[in-house]
Amino acid sequence: MAKITLRQFGPIHDCCMDVQRFTVLTGSQASGKSTIAKAIFFFRTIGQDVIAQMKTKNLADTYRTSLENDLKKRLRNKFLQIFGSSWSMPKEMRLRYEYKKQVTIEVYLVPDRNATYRNFVEFQFGEGIREFLEKYKDYAEQTWDESSWENVQQEIDALFSDGYETIYVPAGRSLITLLTDQLMTLLSSDEGRSLDFCMQTYVRRILSLRSRIREGFHDLLDEVLHTTQIKIDKETLHYMERLIKEVLHVRYAYDRGEEQLFFDKHRYVKINFASSGQQEAIWVFNIMYFYLLQNQKVFLIIEEPEAHLYPDAQKRIAEAIGLFEGAGNQVFVTTHSPYILGQFNNMLYAGELQEKAEGQDEKKLHEILHPLFYIKIADAHAAYVWDGKTENAVNEGMIRNELIDGASVEINEEMDALLALGWSLEGRV
């Protein structure tokens, strides 16, 4: 089990939490949920940075000394692209990620020798990572064939206890759908370079996937079935398609540089003219369906899956996330929604009952909620972010929904007081 620690970082003063197969983060706006999510993305993609740096092998760099120093340079640039300038960060700032025992990375600040008041981002690697970097310290002088690179990739996956591709789906993603026709231009422009690093990676993923999907999921499924040997879980895909239809009520297609949402065989709307809920949810679903179809394992970070969705649709997208995790993936979710948390709790409790139910009881359980949606309590963790800290939000295997639904209590109390006053006034008439 991985663990992340943040100290004096943005709105977070003190955070130490487990990163499980299924992790949920809740709390008010601006509490620090996105900060934690982006920090996890930063650390989880370092394996990709290692292999990318090794393949770069820029011999023209006169400052090149070792793989460790070159990797630190790459990570420093990425860190600043995600979190902005370090100048305003407090000197006490510290981040730490533990992949497994002796495989850790810490980020902290030290004074830059070249600028008296500047905070310089520095890294400290655990023993396991240092041994790997020392092994390949002279990487720029080596020449490897394809099989050698495969071996290195396997070493990196084993080092970081992972073979999962990390994908970040940011909040505010409907903005990108509004600019769908200009995405390529956007990335190469000054405005694109000013985009948050996580949003940039999200845009690049859309650009790489949308041409693959083309005429929608059915055509993509047929292509995979007839041209590859990928093992397909048709039942899981069927349920995902059903949930997509229930939430979006349209079929996605990409034709001649245009993203389209079809209401029927002939009628469609360009995605930038679709409803805000459809714009927010479409690529959450597209990404989940595509990687289910490819049978490729993913660590999926989703910010605010409930954005602009009706409560019924929020329930369905929560089910889709559970379905995706149950297919062997890992999920990290940030949410404000009591409906999302409520449905997660249903899936957690169903997973608990599955361990006990037999015969007719098990049949009744499956009729209430299909087993594909169950979440194992042992694989789940939830935290509540408040006042710069994180608090365990799980009690007896359930997420404490009341932590964010205090407004309902306040509204009900207000209504009770209004009703009492109304009855009093009527009694005086």
- 325-371 per-position pLDDT tens digit: 999 999 999 999 999 999 999 999 999 999 988 899 999 999 999 99
Over residues 45-93, the pLDDT tens digits come to 999 999 999 888 655 554 556 889 999 999 999 999 999 988 889 989 9
Do 145 and 193 reside in the same domain of the chain?
A: no
Same domain, 95 and 114: yes
Q: What's residue 33's pLDDT?
A: 94
| Residue 147: pLDDT over 90 | no
277 shares a domain with 191: yes
272 — pLDDT class (breaks 50, 70, 90) = confident
More confident residue, 155 or 65: 155
What strands, in cross-sheet order, belong to the sheet with 380-386? Answer: 119-125, 103-111, 94-100, 2-9, 12-19, 389-392, 380-386, 22-27, 330-335, 298-303, 165-169
Domain boundary among 296, 327, 359: 296
Do the domain assignments include residue 325? no
pLDDT band for 113, please (50, 70, 90 cuts).
low
Residue 341's SS3 state is helix
Are 84 and 122 in a shared domain? yes
Tell me the residue range of the domain where 50 lies.
45-163
Of 143, 163, 183, which residue is a domain's last? 163
DSSP secondary structure code for residue 164 in this structure = P
Residue 401 within a domain: no
Which residues are CB-contacts of 368 (< 8 A; sequence separation ≥ 6)? Answer: 350
Residue 116's pLDDT band, with cuts at 50, 70 and 90, is: low
- Indicate if the pLDDT at residue 36 is higher than 90: yes
Closest Cα to residue 347, out of 336, 333, 359, 360? 333
Buried b (16+ CB within 10 A) or exposed e, 363-374: eebeeebeebbb
Residue that terminates a domain, selected from 274, 296, 318: 296
The answer to whether position 393 is within a domain reads no
Q: Is the pLDDT of residue 314 over 90?
A: yes
Highest average pLDDT, of 115-129, 156-170, 320-334, 414-428, comes from 320-334
Quick one: average pLDDT of 101-116?
A: 83
Please indicate, yes or no, whether residues 159 and 49 belong to a single structural domain of this protein: yes
Give the chain's domain count: 2
If asked whether residues 206 and 234 sit together in one domain, one would say yes
Over residues 211-234, the pLDDT tens digits come to 888 777 777 888 888 888 888 888
381 within 8 A of 26, measured Cβ to Cβ: no
Decide: 269 and 301 in contact? Cβ < 8 Å: no
Q: Is residue 405 part of a domain?
A: no
Asked which of 12-26, 61-75, 130-144, 196-210 is least confident by mean pLDDT, the reply is: 61-75
Q: What order do you get walking across the sheet with 258-262 strand by strand?
A: 251-255, 258-262, 268-270
If you compute the radius of gyration of the chain from its CA atoms, what whole number of angstroms results?
Answer: 24
Residue 303 resides in a domain: no
Q: What's the pLDDT score for residue 137?
A: 84
The CA distance from 340 to 386, in Å, is 19
Would residue 200 count as lying in a domain?
Answer: yes
Residues 207 and 274 in one domain: yes
Q: What is the reported pLDDT for 123?
A: 96
The answer to whether residues 186 and 103 belong to one domain is no
190 lies in the same domain as 266: yes
The pLDDT, as a whole number, for residue 208 is 87
Residues forming a β-bridge with 5: 16, 96
The pLDDT of residue 164: 92
- pLDDT surpasses 60 at 179: yes
pLDDT of residue 62: 46
| pTM, full prediction | 0.90
Higher pLDDT, 34 or 411: 34
Q: Mean pLDDT of all residues in the chain?
A: 88
Residue 247 clears pLDDT 60, i.e. is over it: yes
Highest mean pLDDT among 58-62, 249-253, 289-293: 289-293
Same domain? For 184 and 291 the reply is: yes
Tell me which of 34-43, 63-72, 205-214, 393-402 is least confident.
63-72
Give yes or no: residues 138 and 216 share one domain. no
State mean pLDDT over 101-107.
95
The stretch 128-137 carries a mean pLDDT of: 92
Please report whether residue 119 resides in a domain.
yes
Give the pLDDT confidence score for residue 189 in this predicted structure: 62
pLDDT at residue 303 tops 90: yes
